[in-house]
Amino acid sequence: MKNAYIISTGTELLLGTTQDSNSVFLASKLMELGIRVIGKSTVGDNHEQLRRAFTVGIESADVIISTGGLGPTFDDLTKIVACEIMGCRLELRTVEEQKLRHYFASRNRPMPDINLRQAMFPVDAKVLKNTQGTAPGMYLCKNGKILILLPGPPREMTNMYLNEVEPLLKKDFGYDMPKVIRKNIKILGLGESQVEERLSELMNCSEGCSIALLAADGEVHICLAIEDTGAHSSLDLLNDLTAKMVEKMGKNVFAYDDETLVSKVARLLMERGSHLAVAESCTGGLLSKIITDIPGSSAYFWGGVISYSNAAKQLWLGVKEETLLRYGAVSPETAREMAEGLRQSAGTDFALSITGIAGPDGGSTDKPVGLVYIALAFEGGCEVRELKFGNGRDFIRILSAKSALDLLRRHMEY
């Protein structure tokens, strides 16, 4: 299997103002081709930092692929540094110069001379067309290595990779490259350390299959990958390992591969012909947003009530004043009445409610920040759960919304 090294450039990536989605995309696409990413560097627009990153990449991998730093300004150094390391001299390409001049002329703008840097390439490099911007990419085979330079904006990078780079990699490495088959097991309700503890025995007996745990927004994904040799043994090993892991995780497994929690719930509701209504307090409409992010959700989603105040809970959901006075807005009793009241008024099969303290203020010894109650009302009953979250307001809100959806998912599945 060929190895790859990814270099993400741009000072903004180190300041925390921009997420590096490019490397995630590239790692996934390269793995599909049977090219394993063995390392990654994120560096600023600095000559020495770039030089170290490219040196490591060239010394350790067959394919070195970078994103960013292909613009015309003084801090766009990627191509210059990469060619220094590869021992290549940059030359002006007349065709690329003409494209640049046409680009500026078509917009009635003068082209600064500095933009000519974008038209300079080593003589034996392939120029990669950029249909979304002005910075072309570069594909260079030299000394047994493949150097690929892509622009930084995700839209430009993605388009260039799919249309220009992937066909070249397939051609250079052959269509018979070993592919990688993968499985992604998605879990909610267990922390990363709990998942790892349950999988400890399986982690040590999975020879030939790589296992990685990815935690994000309360979910834990078990990412499995194995080289596809074309024999049944590879797929059999993956399926066997998946089955054993699912058995260890139990009902905490909510989906596989590209399916999300909300798309899973949507599918279950559609299959049943059921409808859902939601009553939200501390999440302030976040649950409704997650549901309606999926096109066509009106087929199963009645709507939601944001009952942030006690008055709204009484007026729109039928929560009793005595319940609020005796138990408070954040209580299992209030959560139950919110869900049951909405289900009755909306006439839906299911109603979810969320009430809690998202913080940073408003907590007490008895009811600390992060205390949340969710309830699911259905024909013949209502289930209420107490949850305790930490890590800040946004985390509490997203986990509350996901936990409510997961409560419904478990009810429909089991």
Taking the C-alpha atoms of residue 392 and residue 373, their distance in angstroms, rounded to an integer, is 17
What pLDDT, in 10s, does the model give residues 276-310?
999 999 999 999 999 999 999 999 999 999 999 99
For 352-403, write each residue's pLDDT tens digit. Answer: 999 999 999 999 999 999 999 999 999 999 999 999 998 799 999 999 999 9
Question: Looking at this protein, which amino acid is placed at residue 95?
Answer: V
At residue 224, the 3 state secondary structure works out as strand
- List, in order, residues 6 or more apart from 184 with CB less than 8 Å away: 221, 222, 223, 224, 256, 257, 258
Q: Which residues contact 96 (CB under 8 A, 6 or more apart)?
A: 118, 119, 121, 127, 136
**What local confidence, expressed as pLDDT, does residue 32 receive?**
82
On the question of pLDDT at 206 being above 70, the answer is no
203-to-111, 114, 143 alpha-carbon distances in Å: 57, 54, 38
Identify the structural domains of the chain with CATH numbers, from first to last. 2-173 (3.40.980.10), 179-256 (3.30.70.2860), 261-413 (3.90.950.20)
> CA angle 371-376-379, nearest 5°?
160
Query: How buried is residue 56: exposed, middle or buried, by Cβ count under 10 Å (0-12/13-18/19+)?
Result: middle
How confident is the model at residue 118, as a pLDDT? 92
Q: By three-state DSSP, how is residue 76 classified?
A: coil
Cα dist. 189→209, 221, 253, 374 in Å?
A: 25, 12, 9, 14
Residue that the structure tokens 């419904």 belong to: 408
Give pTM, 2 decimals. Answer: 0.76
Least confident of 84-98, 203-217, 378-392: 203-217
pLDDT-based confidence at residue 232 (cuts at 50, 70, 90): low
Kind and range of the H or E element at 105? helix 94-105
pLDDT for residue 226: 86
